[in-house]
């Protein structure tokens, strides 16, 4: 019975052998950082379309202007959707890294306690 108790206490520090000048201090866990999407800098987006007749020296028809505008809207929407997906992916990666760091710190703290 004494042997089982000794094994259970084997990883605990013996208070009699502890150095009073150099106490063991447990590792403190940092506070969990909250990430908000509002923390990121935002800039107004403006898009410019340049149309050229390639030397034909003529005006664009209404149909050509509407086609250029519709194409620009499609490009803008796909670009903004891509940026949104990448931002969310970066956020998720950061959250995962924070979780892994917390797990690691918990394991290290358990080992030293």
pLDDT at residue 8 above 90? no
Ordered by start, the domain boundaries in the chain are 83-113
The Cα–Cα gap between 71 and 106 comes to 53
**Secondary structure of the chain: what % helix, strand, coil (to 5)?**
55, 0, 45
CA nearest to 86, candidates 37, 33, 45, 32: 37
The Cα–Cα gap between 35 and 112 comes to 30
User: What integer pLDDT is reported at residue 106 of this predicted model?
Assistant: 85
pTM: 0.47
Q: Do residues 27 and 109 touch, judged by C-beta distance below 8 A?
A: yes
pLDDT tens-place string over residues 34-86: 766 665 667 787 888 889 989 999 999 999 999 999 999 999 999 999 999 99
Q: In Å, what is the CA distance from 35 to each residue of 27, 64, 73?
A: 24, 45, 31
């Amino acid at each position: 019975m004494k042997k089982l108790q000794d094994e259970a206490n084997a990883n605990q520090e013996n208070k009699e052998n502890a150095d009073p000048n150099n106490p063991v201090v447990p590792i403190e866990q940092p506070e969990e950082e909250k990430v908000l999407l509002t923390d990121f800098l935002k800039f107004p987006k403006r898009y410019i379309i340049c149309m050229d007749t390639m030397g034909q020296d003529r005006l664009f028809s209404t149909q050509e202007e509407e086609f250029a505008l519709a194409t620009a809207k499609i490009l803008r929407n796909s670009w903004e959707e891509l940026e949104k997906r990448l931002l969310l992916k970066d956020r998720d990666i950061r959250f995962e890294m924070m979780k892994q760091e917390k797990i690691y710190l918990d394991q290290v703290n358990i080992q030293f306690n």
